[in-house]
Structure 1
Amino acid sequence: MWEKIKHKFEKFPARMSVARKIVEHGLRVGENGRIYCGNIEISDVALARAVNVDRRSIKTTVDVILSDEQLAKIFQNITPAGTLVKGVAKELGFGVVEIEAEAQNPGIIARATELISLKGISIRQVHAGDPEIEEYPLLTIITEKPIEGNLINDFLKIEGVKRVSIY
């Protein structure tokens, strides 16, 4: 998706940063020119602070998006992915597996979840970072209970996996 977007903003770093932040957080640009997270309106000032740009950059970026049919179709239909419980997994008694891998290798999610299921552990969530948006995308798997650290070696045997953390 980012490949279809970024060329529209390449010459304008502030606009590129705004567009990237909108996509990273699953924000949506409404037909009215306002920015939303689901149905919650996000102020231009708040987004500008988060991106470290002038609030006018927010307005200009939104105007560019709405004036371009392809961009408008993309940005008007983005939906937030929901809650990722990684930060509170320990408090909830869940386990977390984070895998850094080469995204072009197919089957990483399938093999990683298979390893977990073979241990009889249920998976509550899976989140895969987008390699076009994130510099170091992670595959994050939240499990019903913590898994044993000795599975790290098994995860590292999956083709394309570079690093694994279990906690």
Structure 2
Amino acid sequence: MWESLNSKFSKYPARMTVAQKMFELGLRIGEDNKIYCGNLKISDSALAAAANVDRRVIKSTVNVIVQDEDLFEVFSNIVPAGTLLKNIAKNLGLGVVEIEAGEESEGILAAVATTMSEHDIDIRQAYAGDTKFEGNPVLTIITENPIPGELLNEFIKINGVLKVSVL
């Protein structure tokens, strides 16, 4: 998909910015060619402000996507992921660990989940940065309870892990 976006928007970086922002925020294009987050209609000016572009770029980006069958198939089926608990985890008594991965990031989530399972730590939420957007993606895991300090040493030993932080 990103190759298709790059070819469509290579001469129009502002349009690429809009497409990336829509993807990041879980925004879809509806049958009426309007932009939605779930069933909430998003104004062109609001998205333009978030993407730091002129609002006319929103319309032109949507038009290009709608005219491309493959891109429209993707952008008409995006669903927002829901509430991310990271910023409110402490308020809820939950634990947060962030694990920065290098180029060799395959299997990190499985290894971290296995390690937590071995220590009877329940995972409430996990999400990872997209390697297409980030050079070193970050895996964020929200746990039922704060992470014990001794686990940090186990996480850092996992192949591909560059850095571990408890928030």
Counterpart code for 2:7: H
Regions of 4+ moved over 6 Å: none
Q: How far off its partner does 1:149 sit?
A: 2.1
The two structures have a TM-score, normalised by structure 2, of: 0.94
- Alignment partner of 1:71 is 2:71: yes
Counterpart secondary structure, 1:31: coil
CA separation of 1:103 and 1:130: change in aligned 2, threshold 3 A: farther
Q: CA offset at residue 150 of structure 1?
A: 2.5
* TM-score, structure 1 normalization: 0.94
Residue 46 of structure 2 aligns with which residue? 46
Rounded to whole Å, the distance in 2 between the matches of 1:3 and 1:163 is 30
Give the SS at the match of 2:133. Answer: coil
5+ residue gaps, structure 1: none
Report the AA paired with residue 50 of structure 1: A
Shift of 1:103: 5.3
Note closer, same or farther for the CA distance 1:135–1:43 as it changes in structure 2 (3 Å cut). farther
Aligned length: 167
Task: Tell me whether 1:12 sits opposite 2:7 in the alignment.
Answer: no
Tell me the equivalent position of 2:31: 31
Identity of aligned residues (%): 57
- Give 1:119's aligned residue: 119
CA distances 1:50-82 after superposition (whole Å, capped 9, x unpaired): 111100000000000001111111100111111
Deviates more, 1:4-13 or 1:120-129: 4-13
Judged with a 3 Å threshold, the aligned counterparts in structure 2 of structure 1 residues 103 and 79 are, in CA distance, closer, same or farther, namely farther
SS at match of 2:145: coil
